[in-house]
Amino acid sequence: MRVLGIETSCDETGIAVYDQQAGLLANQLYSQVKLHADYGGVVPELASRDHVRKTVPLIQAALKEANLSAADINGVAYTAGPGLVGALLVGASVGRALAFAWNVPAVPVHHMEGHLLAPMLEDNPPAFPFVALLVSGGHTQLISVIGIGKYELLGESIDDAAGEAFDKTAKLLGLDYPGGPMLSKMAQQGVADRFTFPRPMTDRPGLDFSFSGLKTFAANTIRSNGGDDQTCADIARAFEDAVVDTLAIKCKRALEQTGFKNLVMAGGVSANRTLRTKLAAMMQKRGAEVFYARPQFCTDNGAMIAYAGMVRLKSGADQELSVSVRPRWPLAELPAV
């Protein structure tokens, strides 16, 4: 089976072709970051319009990259949520229309299932069951994963997502949107322990997170210490250490609670080097492993959607012809495969 994957949930148009035997055959990505830069965040209507411009040309580019024609595609997978409704509708309409024209099945994919399964695209994929840490721009969740579609939410952020906290704090430090990766780079120049940020909600039981207080803490620290380059780097370091520590503490708790051996992390923030190093060391001590995808498959991409779609299509999932999307869509509502 060969599946065309279409991702348009936010500000990236991602198109890929995944072959059940040969693996990933094409991966095209267009980022709208420049389009939204002046606004300091994603403008939904501009995002939808840009997906309209980019989706079809990128599909053509992906087919060319894979040296395939439309007749070689056996199924279409498109992100149906969660995400921006207008942006989702672009990918869903194009995906459904192509599948109808090509006379192949189409399947709506849950964006976070895409992220969660992205580490399966790598050479050493994790085996079920595992605890998954989903850390992205819109989500911070700990999930018990027994199998595909067998997801139980163990805990999540009650306010800002980890990526959102990175981006908001980066903005305070004068960095452009989305500033997460730049903040992390800045933190490398920072002196550890000059500032100590709180580890929110680690002093009580449970697996929920709260990150919104960290940006306030950063704002106050900037106010009382000034914003010279070294101070900014020291604040970035203290912020990153606090987020990473907090995530690690809750991952350990989730592993102890479930009794599962391995950990998977996915979503944009799983590209963070400090987080990878910290969780790898923690898991090594536990005689187990942490799995994650290469950085380009941590942030939004079409490959993870093509892969998740292939898994679901193989199990016979296919929708009626209607184009429907779900801006909000709890992962635990997905059917098991």
Ligand X SMILES: Nc1ncnc2c1ncn2[C@@H]1O[C@H](COP(=O)(O)OP(=O)(O)OP(=O)(O)O)[C@@H](O)[C@H]1O
Length of the chain counted residue by residue? 337
Which partner from the list ligand X, Mg ion, none does 234 bind, CB cut-off 5 to 8 Å by kind? none
Q: Work out which of 8, 55, 136, 169 binds Mg ion, going by CB under 5 A.
A: 136
Residue of 232, 135, 223 whose CA lies nearest to 188: 232
Q: Work out which of 180, 190, 200, 309 binds ligand X, going by CB under 6 A.
A: 180
Q: Work out which of 151, 166, 197, 292 binds ligand X, going by CB under 6 A.
A: 166
Q: Which two tokens stand for residue 314?
A: 């193989």
Q: How far is the CB of 148 from ligand X (least distance, A)?
A: 19
Q: How far is the CB of 116 from Mg ion (least distance, A)?
A: 11
- Please identify, among the stretches 11-19, 27-35, 87-95, 294-302, the one whose residues bind Mg ion according to the rule CB under 5 A: 294-302
Q: Closest CB to Mg ion among 136 and 157?
A: 136
279 binds ligand X (CB under 6 A): no
Which partner from the list Mg ion, ligand X, none does 163 bind, CB cut-off 5 to 8 Å by kind? ligand X
Do the Cβ atoms of 27 and 58 come closer than 8 Å?
Answer: no
Do the Cβ atoms of 313 and 148 come closer than 8 Å?
Answer: no
Binders of ligand X in range 111-130 (CB under 6 A): 111, 115
- For the stretch 201-206, contacts whose Cβ atoms lie closer than 8 Å and that sit 24 or more positions apart, written own/partner, are 201/246, 202/245, 202/246, 202/249, 202/250, 206/155
Question: How many whole angstroms separate alpha carbon 269 and alpha carbon 263?
Answer: 15
Q: How far is the CB of 18 from ligand X (least distance, A)?
A: 19
Binders of ligand X in range 255-274 (CB under 6 A): 267-269, 271-272
Q: Closest CB to ligand X among 149 and 268?
A: 268
Annotate 108-144 with DSSP letters as a single string: EEEHHHHHHHGGGGSSSPPPSSEEEEEESSS-EEEEE
Q: How far is the CB of 119 from ligand X (least distance, A)?
A: 13
For tokens 């207080």, name the residue.
Answer: 213
Q: Work out which of 27, 260, 299, 331 binds ligand X, going by CB under 6 A.
A: 299
241 binds ligand X (CB under 6 A): no
Q: Which two tokens stand for residue 160?
A: 């800002």
Binders of Mg ion in range 34-73 (CB under 5 A): none
Question: How many whole angstroms separate alpha carbon 127 and alpha carbon 174?
Answer: 42
Sign of torsion over alpha carbons 71, 73, 74, 75: negative
Question: How many whole angstroms separate alpha carbon 96 and alpha carbon 135?
Answer: 29
8 binds Mg ion (CB under 5 A): no
Do the Cβ atoms of 67 and 39 come closer than 8 Å?
Answer: no
Binders of Mg ion in range 229-248 (CB under 5 A): none
| In the complex, residue closest to ligand X by CB | 268
91 binds ligand X (CB under 6 A): no
Question: How many whole angstroms separate alpha carbon 90 and alpha carbon 49?
Answer: 9
Question: How many whole angstroms separate alpha carbon 184 and alpha carbon 292?
Answer: 18
| Window 3-22: contact mask with ligand X (x via CB under 6 A) | -------x------------
Residue numbers at the binding site for ligand X (CB under 6 A): 10, 83, 111, 115, 136-139, 163, 166-167, 178, 180-181, 184, 267-269, 271-272, 299-300
